[in-house]
């Protein structure tokens, strides 16, 4: 019999990877659904707001490249966000043909509400679905999960 704390076989690691992929996909879907429950923006608009929050102000072309969409599609998404007061345009510092898009205070408030909704759902799920010992195990696993996505 194999030592349960010893090295895992390739088959065991493949099984764990498959299960982790499914669980993380479901978790992400739940978090996205929770965050968008009371927001009146589309998923593509949410992605653009998130990108601008993470990477800072960007040109339309840079946003389109980052999200792997056509510039025309990105312009359409940005036009709707601009109409809602979620993004603002400014002249590009070196290229008169381009504009730089950035978040407005309204979109920062929207992000704050979305993050609070996600974390609120997680707190409730942790408190109601896991025992204290399970909570400890999950909390202990957070640094390990973080290591999986480190560059």
Q: What are 91's strand-pairing partners? A: 99
Domains of the chain with CATH codes: 41-148 (1.10.10.10)
Contact indicator for 80, 45 with CB cutoff of 8 Å: yes
Contact indicator for 101, 63 with CB cutoff of 8 Å: yes
Q: Is the pLDDT of residue 2 over 60?
A: no
Mean model confidence pLDDT for the chain: 92
Across 18-98, the runs of DSSP E, i.e. the strands, are 58-59, 87-91
Question: Can you tell me the distance from the alpha carbon of 75 to that of 67, in angstroms, rounded to the nearest whole number?
Answer: 12
- pTM score, whole prediction: 0.75
Question: Can you tell me the distance from the alpha carbon of 63 to that of 48, in angstroms, rounded to the nearest whole number?
Answer: 8
Q: Is the pLDDT of residue 72 over 60?
A: yes
């Amino acid at each position: 019999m194999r030592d349960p704390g010893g090295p895992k076989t390739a088959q065991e690691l493949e099984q764990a990877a498959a299960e982790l992929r499914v669980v993380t996909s479901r978790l992400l879907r739940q978090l996205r659904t929770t965050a968008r429950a009371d927001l009146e923006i589309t998923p593509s608009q949410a992605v653009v707001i998130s990108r601008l929050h993470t990477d800072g102000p960007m040109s339309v072309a840079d946003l389109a490249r980052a999200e792997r969409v056509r510039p025309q599609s990105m312009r359409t998404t940005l036009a709707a966000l601009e109409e809602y007061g979620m993004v603002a345009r400014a002249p590009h510092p070196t290229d008169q043909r381009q504009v730089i898009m950035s978040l407005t205070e309204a979109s920062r408030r929207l992000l704050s509400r979305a993050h609070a909704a996600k974390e609120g759902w997680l707190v409730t799920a942790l408190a109601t679905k896991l025992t204290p010992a399970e909570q400890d195990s999950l909390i202990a696993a957070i640094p390990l999960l973080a290591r999986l996505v480190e560059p």
